[in-house]
Amino acid sequence: SRQLATATGLTPSQLLVLREIDMRGSATPGTIAQALQFSQATITAIVDRLEALGFVQRERSKRDKRQFHLSTLPSGKAALADA
C-alpha cells in the first residue's frame, strides 16, 4: 500500500472507490457504497478527497436534484492506469 500511495497518491480504499466509479461510468454514492460494502459516510469522505485531487466529479442528477452522479475525470483514469 505504501508503493501504491507513492505511485498514485491514493490509499487502497480510495483506489477501490475510484475503480468502481470508473467501471460503472456514472454512479451514485449509494450504489458505490453498496457495491463495496462501505458506509455512505465513508464513500462521501473518500469522494471528497478524490474530488479535491481532481480524479472524480460530482454532477447533480437532472431527474432527482437530491442525487449526485459520480464520474471519473481523465486524471482519475490516468491514476488508475498508474496503479
What's residue 3's pLDDT? 73
Could you give the CA distance from residue 65 to residue 68 in angstroms, rounded to a whole number? Answer: 8
Could you give the CA distance from residue 76 to residue 21 in angstroms, rounded to a whole number? Answer: 10
Report pLDDT digits (tens) over 15-68. 999 999 999 888 899 999 999 999 999 999 999 999 999 999 999 878 878 888
- The burial class, CB within 10 Å (0-12 / 13-18 / 19+), for 21 is buried
